[in-house]
Amino acid sequence: MPPFNAESAPPIFLGCRAKKPWVPEGYWDPDRLTGVAEVCSVSDCLAHPPPDWIERWDFNRACCYATGEEAWATVPEDGRADYRVFAYWLVSATTDESGGWFYPPPDDWFPADLPELPRGPGPTDPQRLGFDVVSLHRSIMGWGHSPLSCNLMAREVPVNRYCLVDTLEQAASLIERWNHGGEAVEPEIYCPVLVAATDR
């Protein structure tokens, strides 16, 4: 099978979200071997969005906002010290059941009946944190699992302090291993997402 080709899937800006990074508890990394200081996963399983964000119903089809200011507006004033604003870029690439890479149009990952993805490159000078590997379902609004954090795969895979991998090549390698139920992860379809922090 042809190897992953990054030129076939340039990063597409999805928007910004406010999330509360999760500080690992003892059960998650009992020996403190991962080096993770805060989980900044794309998945909502550990790093949570603000409460009642979904009731606003003012996000795009990637459950993101076009600007950091719009994302920050979803955070209650009395809890803002706990949240950060993250910007996401999708690398629209994954593998099929035979292991071959394919590059679907970005909108194929998201529900079609929500507003379009933002146009433009996104924030110009964000703090790049790394790549997450996350599952998405076109028929279900929102994000799926991030095995590095949700399945404790950070114990098996070298990650940075944000529970992300540093390069797109590392993310692609994990997709080849995990797609369709490889190893101890959910049998889902995964894609790479670049995560950055922004000052809004």
Judge whether 3 and 95 are in contact, CB under 8 Å. no
Count of CB atoms within 10 A of residue 95's CB? 22
pTM metric for this prediction: 0.95
Residue 160 is predicted with a pLDDT of 98
Count of CB atoms within 10 A of residue 23's CB? 11
E runs forming strands in 99-154: 101-102, 127-135
41 Cβ contact partners less than 8 Å away, ≥ 6 residues apart:
22, 47, 132, 134, 146, 148, 149, 150, 163, 164
Local structure of residue 173 (DSSP, 8 states): H
E runs forming strands in the chain: 12-19, 84-90, 94-95, 101-102, 127-135, 190-198
Nearest to 117 by CA among 42, 71, 63, 73: 63
Place of tokens 């994000």: 143
155-to-66, 108, 121, 162 alpha-carbon distances in Å: 34, 32, 33, 13
pLDDT in tens, 52-104: 999 999 999 999 999 999 999 999 999 899 999 999 999 999 999 888 999 99
Work out whether strand 84-90 and strand 101-102 pair parallel, antiparallel, or are unpaired.
Answer: unpaired
Give the mean pLDDT per block of 10 residues along the chain (200 residues). Answer: 88 96 93 94 95 92 95 93 96 92 92 90 93 83 88 95 98 93 84 91
Residue 140 is predicted with a pLDDT of 65
